Structure 1
Amino acid sequence: MDGTTVTGTKDVGDFCLSHDNTESYYIKSYVPESCKTEACILGIDEAGRGPVLGPMVYSICYCLKNKEEELKLTGCADSKSLTEVKREVIFDKLCGLKDFVGWDTEVISPTVISNSMLRRQKISLNEISHNAAINLVKRAQESGVKVTDVFVDTVGPAGKYQAKLKDIFPELNITVANKADATYPIVSAASIFAKVTRDICLKVWKCPEFLEGTDINLGSGYPGDPDTKKFLEENIDPVFGFPQVVRFSWATALKILEAKAAPIKWEDDELPSGSKSIKSFFKKPEVKERHQFFRDRNLTNTTEL
């Protein structure tokens, strides 16, 4: 999963359209040569943490430290404060700064999210988020980017998250803050890459569960969106559940499954009466304490006379 290199929103759309949506994947820019030799700042942000439909997208954007003012001129701001059209315009402007700006994005499949959160040893959404951010920083370093400063929009308590990152990347200056996407332009740029990528993913999403040509309206993917609610209510199979675009681990989806899906009776995990647990074969054998009479006289067992 090294990542496919693209140069703008159209390329992102083409790649998302051709990709297997059950798997996570990376999309990235070319790495500017200047970013390999001069100090760079790097921002991290995500899009799609709360939706019940579609992927969660994590992005980094890195830029030469001495070019941050030029980055600001693109108009990058918190992606939630911009219209969809404005975000796409800024996305392409940022891609145009290829001499000193680069980016990398992980599209985390809803199937991967559900499987992680519903497995026996559960992986929380916070942990999935932290792992994505950490891997993206490592990818930048492995690509040769000379990262010196990292700015992150927090997931969970900012202080605890910052300490975790600092422990992994002790050589970097790391700042984790609430609403970092509205405070630091480099994080705003990362939020643009994340949000635009997620929007495009939903637009071109292929649902193999539907016949080709079927008109599908996913809405925004957020639980409160009427179109998203309608999609969930109308597209549940009593046996197989929802299409793969749905995060089965979300409470919104689970409630509908409980109400409309066929009930399932699981076999008891209890061992049959008289059966031994496999753990019992690995226990140390019990040593029976000898009677005091034998201990007082230092008497031992013998097999030979």
Structure 2
Amino acid sequence: MDLSDFASDNSRNIVLKSIVPQVCKDEPCCLGIDEAGRGPVLGPMVYGVSFCPVSCKERLADLGFADSKTLTEEQRDNLFSKIKQADDFIGFEVEVLSPNFISTAMLRRTKYSLNAISMDSAIGLLNLAIQQGANIKEVYVDTVGDSTKYQEKLQGLFPGLDITVTPKADAKFPIVSAASICAKVMRDQVLKSWTFKEGDDIVTGNYGSGYPADPSTKQWLLDNVDKVFGYPQFVRFSWSTTSTILESKARCVHWDDDEEDTAKGSASLFSFFAPKNADPKDKQHSFFEERHLKRVVSF
């Protein structure tokens, strides 16, 4: 699938989707939801959904789907090719959630947990499938958090659907396994094509699996820590692995710009970064734009 838009700006999320086969509009369908990359400290998390007519469940199973974590990369790629070739009865969607988005969301003042991010992505993709015309009747979801509460939430949002939320759904239901394959293959492709926009000083060698316990990942994080700016956006700043290294390796910075001083006539710290005679409200610095931070105006 075309990842050029994400490659040009990997600080933002992107949704990619197949066409909806006509049979998926005409017949009742089952839909599976799963993710890849929830635990790593590096790279995006990718959510995937796959759907097909209920009448094609056995046909789907015959293609040989299994939990993507138990398969080699080559096996996953082969299965993803089968999904694309079976576009007469299988549809799919993926959302690539950038590490920048994950970090910004989890570190904002109003708590937005990884579970909430995951659920919102799953809900968004399910809504998209329905809006695209897929006749969804059954939904199978690999759970995050408490499966009972998650199922109740989904059932409340989609009362007309038969929803099953359960651990290891990717090993129990071929349609979830297909979604797992889509998510994992897309994450692998993103990692291989990642463009570091922060400069040429980044060591782009072996970063391992991206999981915090991986020695190669740990070494890559140690090799790439910047004492002032921390890490490139490839890294999830909201992970304790990252914050622990930054606390020990990076400089401690204090920003003194008290409201009391400003009220007495002192210039705001941000004014020193603006060109002369420029209105600071004209354009935000890329730091704020990349993190989707906006000014709050009181009335």
Aligned mates of 2:255, 2:200 — CA distance in 1? 32
Q: TM (normalized to structure 2)?
A: 0.83
Indicate which of 245, 252, 258 corresponds to 1:263.
252
Give yes or no for contact 2:6–2:14 (8 Å, CA) kept in 1: no
Give the equivalent residue in structure 2 for 1:249: 238
Give the equivalent residue in structure 1 for 2:36: 47
Matches within 5 A, 1:198-237: 198-211=187-200, 215-237=204-226
Q: Is residue 77 from structure 1 mapped to residue 76 from structure 2 by the alignment?
A: no
Aligned mates of 2:90, 2:101 — CA distance in 1? 30
Give the equivalent residue in structure 2 for 1:137: 126
User: Which structure has the larger Rg over C-alpha atoms?
Assistant: 1
Aligned length: 264
Once the two structures are superposed, residues 189-239 of structure 1 have per-residue CA deviations (whole angstroms, 9 ceiling, x without a partner) of: 100111111111111111112339974333211112222111110111111
Give the equivalent residue in structure 2 for 1:105: 94
Aligned mates of 2:201, 2:9 — CA distance in 1? 16
Aligned to 2:111, what secondary structure does the other structure show?
A: coil
Once the two structures are superposed, residues 26-55 of structure 1 have per-residue CA deviations (whole angstroms, 9 ceiling, x without a partner) of: 111111111111110000000000000000
Aligned mates of 2:56, 2:141 — CA distance in 1? 19
Give yes or no for contact 1:52–1:252 (8 Å, CA) kept in 2: yes
Q: CA RMSD in A?
A: 2.2
Aligned mates of 2:111, 2:202 — CA distance in 1? 37
Give the equivalent residue in structure 1 for 2:177: 188
Aligned mates of 1:265, 1:213 — CA distance in 2? 26
Give the equivalent residue in structure 1 for 2:160: 171
Indicate which of 79, 84, 95 corresponds to 1:95.
84
Aligned mates of 1:144, 1:261 — CA distance in 2? 51
Aligned mates of 2:149, 2:8 — CA distance in 1? 36
Q: Is residue 123 from structure 1 mapped to residue 112 from structure 2 by the alignment?
A: yes
Summarize the Cα distance change of 1:242–1:213 in structure 2 as closer, same or farther, 3 Å threshold: closer
Summarize the Cα distance change of 1:200–1:154 in structure 2 as closer, same or farther, 3 Å threshold: same
Aligned to 1:200, what secondary structure does the other structure show?
A: helix
Once the two structures are superposed, residues 39-98 of structure 1 have per-residue CA deviations (whole angstroms, 9 ceiling, x without a partner) of: 100000000000000000000000111011111122111101111110110010111110
Give yes or no for contact 2:203–2:224 (8 Å, CA) kept in 1: no
Give yes or no for contact 1:22–1:244 (8 Å, CA) kept in 2: yes
Summarize the Cα distance change of 1:212–1:103 in structure 2 as closer, same or farther, 3 Å threshold: farther
Aligned mates of 1:233, 1:135 — CA distance in 2? 36
Summarize the Cα distance change of 1:244–1:34 in structure 2 as closer, same or farther, 3 Å threshold: same
Provide the identity percentage: 52
Aligned mates of 1:215, 1:200 — CA distance in 2? 16
Aligned mates of 1:269, 1:261 — CA distance in 2? 24
Q: Is residue 114 from structure 1 mapped to residue 83 from structure 2 by the alignment?
A: no
Q: Structure 2: state its 5+ residue gaps.
A: 265-299
Aligned to 2:94, what secondary structure does the other structure show?
A: strand
Q: TM (normalized to structure 1)?
A: 0.82
Aligned mates of 2:159, 2:29 — CA distance in 1? 16
Aligned mates of 1:83, 1:182 — CA distance in 2? 16
Q: Structure 1: state its 5+ residue gaps.
A: 1-10, 276-305
Aligned mates of 1:253, 1:245 — CA distance in 2? 12
Give the equivalent residue in structure 1 for 2:278: none
Mean CA deviation greater in 249-258 or 222-231? 222-231
Aligned mates of 1:246, 1:36 — CA distance in 2? 40
Give yes or no for contact 1:181–1:188 (8 Å, CA) kept in 2: yes
Give yes or no for contact 2:7–2:194 (8 Å, CA) kept in 1: no
Aligned to 1:148, what secondary structure does the other structure show?
A: strand
Aligned mates of 1:214, 1:243 — CA distance in 2? 11
